[in-house]
Amino acid sequence: MARQVRLNYIYASATTWERFDLACDQLGWAKKSLVQQCLHEFFHQHHAFYQGAAIADAAARQMDEAEYYRTLRDKSEDDLRRYTLERPGFEVTPLDPVPFNPSGTDIQRTYNVITISNYNAVLLKVARIVDTGPMVQLVSRIIEQHFEAYWEKNYFPQIERDMNCSFR
């Protein structure tokens, strides 16, 4: 079953918005689908980190894994037990190198909902717990990281080949 995550805005640098728009216009990505793809790929690449973080966080709250998972899937972070042990140190996270985007109308775009799998929705909540920032910043940083990592190798070559009318 899929979950919807509501976001009022997404923030991104001018370069990322330019790349995002080109991917939509030139490669046929729907804007909503492209955001979903960014999240899907992020959790595919960083699954082990967030899986370990979830297990450590559940243990620090003295919750078993299934109870912790169900709470994040069916309820909210606010419904998790309070920490009974020290909050885990999550080490260097996959998003630590990605700075927060300053809020402001020149880099913000309105958004509505992101539809993702139950599992990725739970991982997104775990990522929010680890990151401690607002969900809008978390998703915005995931999008920034995605286009930094995949623009040159996945997106741009297709656009360039079309511009050059070439298969190479």
4: nearest Cα among 143, 142, 79, 116: 116
Element (H, E) at 121: helix 118-131
CA 126 from centre of chain: 11
The string of pLDDT tens digits covering residues 2-34 is 899 999 999 999 999 999 999 999 999 999 999
pLDDT bin (cut points 50, 70, 90) of residue 79 is very high
Q: Is 111 a domain residue?
A: yes
The string of pLDDT tens digits covering residues 30-56 is 999 999 999 999 999 999 999 999 999
Terminal-to-terminal C-alpha distance of the chain: 40
Q: Where are the beta strands (DSSP E) in 74-153?
A: 108-110, 113-117
Residue 94, pLDDT > 80, answer: yes
CB 30 within 8 Å of CB 114: no
Q: Is 158 a domain residue?
A: yes
Residue 118, pLDDT > 90, answer: yes
The chain-wide mean pLDDT, for the chain, equals 94
Q: What single-letter amino acid sits at 88?
A: P
Q: Is 167 a domain residue?
A: no
CA pair distance 21, 27, nearest whole angstrom: 10
Q: What is the pTM of this model?
A: 0.94
Domain residues for the domain of 104 are 2-162
CA pair distance 24, 95, nearest whole angstrom: 24
Q: Is 168 a domain residue?
A: no
Q: Is 75 a domain residue?
A: yes
Tally of structural domains, the chain: 1
